Structure 1
């Protein structure tokens, strides 16, 4: 009799889209089938939340589906075990051709849902969809790295979505055979799944905020500019990255394809032939050789787009991006939703690519034309040298290639790779929609206890205040805890109401955070919250002048 009751109860969950708790089982019905999750306790408060890990939103992109846009997942006729995480997308823990150093699986299009709402209860909580960074060749949705614990205390739902990386997510032949950006298309399909199902987990499908960092923020920025995401989200947070930074788009796909084929010993006669032959290569071999190829190609000109990254696609019905990113913003032809955008106070301190930049400039004898970012698209060598001379004088002065160091390199790289183009894009975004701008400048222990210099906060340090990480420094202090509570409150407020400071709040020092105007008002997030104007002003104006006078569009 008991077994019959359980079957009837589960059947009701399936047929009536109910959320059910039976004994210690936590069951939620989605439009694809029932999922079973687990009960968790947030660190450090002990607040109860419910975790549903490894929910598929697409068919496994393997076999003939390699290099293809994601296909919606089919219904499952059983209770899906969502108590264990699924494999991360293929990536490497280090630059290597050794396949044993490669982690993950091609079958990786899953999402996790963390909700404070118990099964069987109906609420309409704000939803925060996380898109990870990692240069489009690493990153994952694991709780070990992106634990939702701190955000659970703010009564929001957190949903990290996985997307394909490296050649699997961003292979492009530059034509309709493989136009590219499948990793971005993974995210769009994931957003569609969240929109259609989050209500069953206590979420409000009309209050979905994408939040993201670094390459994830680049992806999010692109998603704000495509009609394919219209109606799928309501606001966006972009930390330390936009589609306008110089490394966002690849112009090197053809070179990477050629080098990958060479390393694999393949010859090909057409785009279709290359795609067919690469589909037959074992996944770990393909990832290893394509990553080596990308590193070799990128190392030739590192002040530009990543080698394996989003591309401007040829026009076709499912294209994510077909126009220069600055032209899109100037036209106002993008999704007009509230935005929260910012960066850390010194993005390139302890930046992993600094050694490559130093070697590149040293080998080039600090020749000025090598300092010109690739996204300026300057074709005339004389013009390029003139622009390079201006840049060299400002950042390197009379220092020669043998003696320049971090004091010169780090500010230059921070401006070139982050601040200047982010601020330029913010000014364009702000002409059409509300933008809240910030700089995170708190030099805390939780951020990076091993930083080389105390000149500023490095890339990604703020993530340790948003997410509980098993790898985070265990030594902390009360100020670190307060900054964590402050940052999560600001982000959650924005997700809930589109305004990070909707009302006076003692935790937020009763600050009012204005949106960006002509003076580029921003919030300095430190131990104290201070409203300021004109971040990186002189450097921004220098680059803005060069940009407006010399830059050509990406599709020129």
Structure 2
């Protein structure tokens, strides 16, 4: 009782930004919404002390009538919030089988985790890095198992990991004002706003916030840089293996998904408003299962048209996030002009070659070369599309398609068309208006993929193993792996602190100075050693730019 009385007096006496008291081995911080209780922990390998606050709500639970609605700011809590354990992840399936789907998570999932190496009552405010996870907008989470802070915390930055609604729960769209879509992105923006307003209490600098993400998380960051709704909420952005400009990042199939989902659920509806209300009443398991099945059918039939459930271009309204074509925004400089860092892994498609969707797609492409043409070309003439497909086929496959997945012909094609070419193009276009740093991860280490049995290149998401400690990380690390990890972590943290990954030459970074992208497309190649190079994927990039310039049609 005495301890509780002390806490109440403490809470009422001290201003919010000063509150940091020890309760046994736990620590209290006061946010604008109420007090949170965290824990003191220690980083692996270095034993550096940091403080963890997990499962902090930044929005009201998006359940019941709030399903398919924009997130609402969390209400204040009149008690000490237990932030020592993580909360449920957002609803998703970890199996794509309709007969035996494994559903995990909850609709009540809008929480964030904060890790700070500095006691909030100490004076120096630290740079903040806000992580947005990937997973194709239908899976993934912000939990410690995959995104532990142990590496980044050594660089004296505050790490925040945000959750956002996934699949139909986060990206349901009717194509009109009934449900304009992109609520998953709105979740991210609300989370970012909460960080801006509260991070000082955790020792972070609200004027030095970097948003960063990988794959769909990188695309999310890219979308957030292109909306005025985020102006003033962040100061720099890092996009890893994913951008809004990538062909999969924007859905054109939202109406098809809705229709097929309704059919699978046995629903009849008379309007988009009627559909929305009826889907609100559907059990979450049935809704997730049937919408996942519908999206797989649509995406599997045409994987180069984009993900079936994903961000969409919205009709004009005051709180719209995306209202015009991404390429148009990049060309015109219609984005927030902050420093940008973006890049890719040397062979992104390595992890995709066993996908049934890819197998079906490649089989069809053998018979019809036009299937090789990305939907981003927007070619209306079937004759011209076939001609472009033949050019692509000749460039990557010659006269005979690869019969074995993982062949040197297939991997470069899928890596280029799905990720790399669009990332390089976006970097080049953005550099006309903002400082842009471009990289390629080429290092084939065991930390990236311990079970590696190939040397064709660095696959999708391998970069994450060098930036985050993971439960599955090897206990004993190869020295070169450690060196590469330390360099990447320093580069990312430097960018967050200074807006420049190499503000000065230093030994840990081998005295390298990473230049901004220029007319020669300068970039940093991250391998066993760091090396500044020019013209990444030069032959392939020139091939695609020539095709786009000649055949890409406006929407």
TM-score using structure 1 length: 0.97
Give the aligned partner of residue 77 of structure 1.
78
Alignment of structure 1 residues 111-510 onto 2, 5 Å = 111-351=112-352, 354-400=355-401, 406-510=407-511
- The 3 A distance-change label for structure 1 pair 515 and 301 is same
C-alpha deviation, 1:354, in angstroms? 4.5
Q: Deviations over 1:341-387 (max 9, x none)?
A: 10111111132664422322213533111110011111111111111
Task: Supply the distance in 1 between the matched residues of 2:287 and 2:476 (Cα, whole angstroms).
Answer: 41
| Stretch of structure 1 that moved more, 21-30 or 306-315 | 21-30
SS of the equivalent of 2:229 reads: helix
SS of the equivalent of 1:348 reads: helix
| Stretch of structure 1 that moved more, 171-180 or 98-107 | 98-107
Query: Does structure 1 conserve the Cα–Cα contact (< 8 Å) formed by 2:245 and 2:426?
Result: yes
Task: Supply the distance in 2 between the matched residues of 1:259 and 1:253 (Cα, whole angstroms).
Answer: 10
SS of the equivalent of 2:50 reads: strand
Task: Supply the distance in 2 between the matched residues of 1:241 and 1:207 (Cα, whole angstroms).
Answer: 23
Q: Deviations over 1:408-441 (max 9, x none)?
A: 2111101100111111111110000100110011
Task: Supply the distance in 1 between the matched residues of 2:64 and 2:544 (Cα, whole angstroms).
Answer: 46
Query: Does structure 2 conserve the Cα–Cα contact (< 8 Å) formed by 1:362 and 1:401?
Result: no
Q: Deviations over 1:13-38 (max 9, x none)?
A: 57676233344330000000000001
Q: Which runs of 5+ in 2 are unaligned?
A: none
Query: Does structure 2 conserve the Cα–Cα contact (< 8 Å) formed by 1:440 and 1:462?
Result: yes
C-alpha deviation, 1:112, in angstroms? 0.5
Query: Does structure 1 conserve the Cα–Cα contact (< 8 Å) formed by 2:251 and 2:307?
Result: yes
Task: Supply the distance in 1 between the matched residues of 2:184 and 2:517 (Cα, whole angstroms).
Answer: 31
C-alpha deviation, 1:304, in angstroms? 2.1
Task: Supply the distance in 2 between the matched residues of 1:404 and 1:312 (Cα, whole angstroms).
Answer: 34
Task: Supply the distance in 2 between the matched residues of 1:345 and 1:100 (Cα, whole angstroms).
Answer: 33
C-alpha deviation, 1:450, in angstroms? 1.9
Task: Supply the distance in 1 between the matched residues of 2:71 and 2:347 (Cα, whole angstroms).
Answer: 37
Give the aligned partner of residue 39 of structure 2.
38
Matched, 1:103 2:104: yes
| Stretch of structure 1 that moved more, 215-224 or 118-127 | 118-127
Task: Supply the distance in 2 between the matched residues of 1:207 and 1:432 (Cα, whole angstroms).
Answer: 20
Query: Does structure 2 conserve the Cα–Cα contact (< 8 Å) formed by 1:171 and 1:181?
Result: yes
Query: Does structure 2 conserve the Cα–Cα contact (< 8 Å) formed by 1:13 and 1:20?
Result: no
Q: Deviations over 1:168-209 (max 9, x none)?
A: 010000000000000000000001000000000000000000
Query: Does structure 2 conserve the Cα–Cα contact (< 8 Å) formed by 1:256 and 1:294?
Result: yes
Task: Supply the distance in 1 between the matched residues of 2:354 and 2:158 (Cα, whole angstroms).
Answer: 34
| Stretch of structure 1 that moved more, 448-457 or 426-435 | 448-457
- The 3 A distance-change label for structure 1 pair 542 and 177 is same
Query: Does structure 2 conserve the Cα–Cα contact (< 8 Å) formed by 1:305 and 1:375?
Result: no
Task: Supply the distance in 1 between the matched residues of 2:17 and 2:427 (Cα, whole angstroms).
Answer: 45
Query: Does structure 1 conserve the Cα–Cα contact (< 8 Å) formed by 2:502 and 2:512?
Result: yes
Query: Does structure 2 conserve the Cα–Cα contact (< 8 Å) formed by 1:304 and 1:374?
Result: yes
C-alpha deviation, 1:120, in angstroms? 2.8
Task: Supply the distance in 2 between the matched residues of 1:353 and 1:106 (Cα, whole angstroms).
Answer: 31
SS of the equivalent of 2:274 reads: helix
- The 3 A distance-change label for structure 1 pair 20 and 441 is same
- The 3 A distance-change label for structure 1 pair 330 and 26 is same
Give the aligned partner of residue 87 of structure 1.
88
Give the aligned partner of residue 512 of structure 2.
511
Task: Supply the distance in 2 between the matched residues of 1:541 and 1:216 (Cα, whole angstroms).
Answer: 27
Task: Supply the distance in 1 between the matched residues of 2:353 and 2:64 (Cα, whole angstroms).
Answer: 34
SS of the equivalent of 1:107 reads: coil
SS of the equivalent of 2:366 reads: coil
C-alpha deviation, 1:100, in angstroms? 6.1
Count of aligned pairs: 554
- The 3 A distance-change label for structure 1 pair 49 and 363 is same
Give the aligned partner of residue 545 of structure 1.
546
Task: Supply the distance in 1 between the matched residues of 2:96 and 2:155 (Cα, whole angstroms).
Answer: 39
C-alpha deviation, 1:266, in angstroms? 1.0
Query: Does structure 2 conserve the Cα–Cα contact (< 8 Å) formed by 1:157 and 1:203?
Result: yes
Q: Deviations over 1:75-126 (max 9, x none)?
A: 0000000001000001111212357611100000000000011243333100
Task: Supply the distance in 1 between the matched residues of 2:404 and 2:6 (Cα, whole angstroms).
Answer: 78
Task: Supply the distance in 1 between the matched residues of 2:386 and 2:245 (Cα, whole angstroms).
Answer: 23
- The 3 A distance-change label for structure 1 pair 400 and 19 is closer
Q: Over aligned residues, Cα RMSD in angstroms?
A: 1.6
Query: Does structure 2 conserve the Cα–Cα contact (< 8 Å) formed by 1:129 and 1:209?
Result: yes
SS of the equivalent of 2:278 reads: helix
C-alpha deviation, 1:403, in angstroms? 7.1
SS of the equivalent of 2:144 reads: coil
SS of the equivalent of 1:129 reads: strand
SS of the equivalent of 1:349 reads: helix
Q: Deviations over 1:387-417 (max 9, x none)?
A: 1111111111110576786322111101100
Query: Does structure 2 conserve the Cα–Cα contact (< 8 Å) formed by 1:67 and 1:168?
Result: yes
Query: Does structure 1 conserve the Cα–Cα contact (< 8 Å) formed by 2:397 and 2:409?
Result: yes
Task: Supply the distance in 2 between the matched residues of 1:358 and 1:371 (Cα, whole angstroms).
Answer: 13
C-alpha deviation, 1:452, in angstroms? 4.1
